[in-house]
Structure 1
Amino acid sequence: MPSADFAIRPVEAADHAEWLALWQAYCRHYEVTLDERVNARTWARIADPAEPIHALIAHGEDGEPLGLCNYVLHPNTWSDQTVCYLEDLYVAPQGRRKGVATAFIERLREIGERENWFRIYWITNDANEAAQAVYDRIASRSGHIRYEIALAKK
């Protein structure tokens, strides 16, 4: 989704510092502190075209980073096409209420249509009503409930 106020594109190696600052702000938002080893490995995976983890970044007209969108491509058992899991979507305070979150998802839709993905899916916190208001306009709730088993950190 083009905008006069911001642009979205795939991250590049030169975006590391901006991506990391946005990533750390996203983690703080969810009150999570990740080991630096995990942050470094996540970036290395994003930067490696052979890995299934990818990222988009949004910049304002002035070049200020406004948000990130990390996603994972994987096979699935319901189709022979690739599925996209939108794992992390973060819009910095200065980018909110400008359509950045919607534009990230629309960009993923464009990529998915071009690359013939089967579906794009994501989750959000049940208390995150602002995100749900955005998502309800552009996607359908699946009706599924997510369960987790926490395993030891390695």
Structure 2
Amino acid sequence: MAITIRDASREDEARWLELWNGYLAFYRVSVAPEVTASTFARVFDPASALKMRVAELDAKLVGFALFLTHEGTWIKGHDCYLEDLYVDAAYRGQKIGKALVDDLVAMSKEKGWSRLYWHTAEDNRTARALYDRYVQSDGHVRYRISFEK
């Protein structure tokens, strides 16, 4: 079974929505339907920094990585921020998450981005076991003020 990583296409929307809903359920959060629709649409908007890579296993979409690049004050180039990574629960343990991260590592090097970074829930042991293979936590604590209702 070969894992294929590729850019998302508009034809992926229905399956991505299934995966996205699984991702939200995993984190026990809800996102308004119009935000979900906007997220998917922005992936294909040339003016948006948001991009998506998807993982296929035997031609079935089984995971995704949403990311964006941005300038930073401590670097001359761009940072790549991996905002969301999810693999269908039925396909975990098959190195799909690793393939998605490896893809972003390779893309970061190829495009000359200065850094790749992400965060995850402190108690997400499965994700942290994967992420710790790449780099140990840098000790930063995230603070977030939400202004959306």
- TM band (smaller chain): over 0.9
Matches of 2:117 and 2:94 in 1, distance apart? 22
TM-score where L is the length of structure 2:
0.94
SS in 2 for 1:104: helix
Corresponding residue of 1:98: 94
Corresponding residue of 2:12: 15
Q: In structure 2, do the counterparts of structure 1 residues 109 and 145 end up closer, same or farther at CA, with 3 Å as the change threshold?
A: same
1:112 alignment partner AA = S
Matches of 2:148 and 2:89 in 1, distance apart? 33
Q: Residue 132 of structure 1 is aligned with which of 116, 128, 134?
A: 128
Q: Residue 115 of structure 1 is aligned with which of 111, 115, 129?
A: 111
Corresponding residue of 1:74: 70
Q: What is the correspondence of 1:84-95 to structure 2 with a 5 Å cutoff?
A: 84-95=80-91
1:55 alignment partner AA = M
1:15 alignment partner AA = D
Matches of 1:79 and 1:126 in 2, distance apart? 27
Q: What is the correspondence of 1:58-73 to structure 2 with a 5 Å cutoff?
A: 58-61=55-58, 63-73=59-69
Q: How many residues align?
A: 149
Mean Cα deviation higher: 101-110 or 132-141: 132-141
Contact 2:43/2:51 (<8 A) preserved: yes
Contact 2:81/2:118 (<8 A) preserved: yes
Q: Residue 34 of structure 2 is aligned with which of 10, 25, 37?
A: 37
Corresponding residue of 2:141: 145
Deviation, 1:151, is 2.2
Q: In structure 2, do the counterparts of structure 1 residues 22 and 143 end up closer, same or farther at CA, with 3 Å as the change threshold?
A: same
Matches of 1:99 and 1:57 in 2, distance apart? 14
Matches of 1:6 and 1:111 in 2, distance apart? 17
Corresponding residue of 1:5: 2
Deviation, 1:152, is 3.8
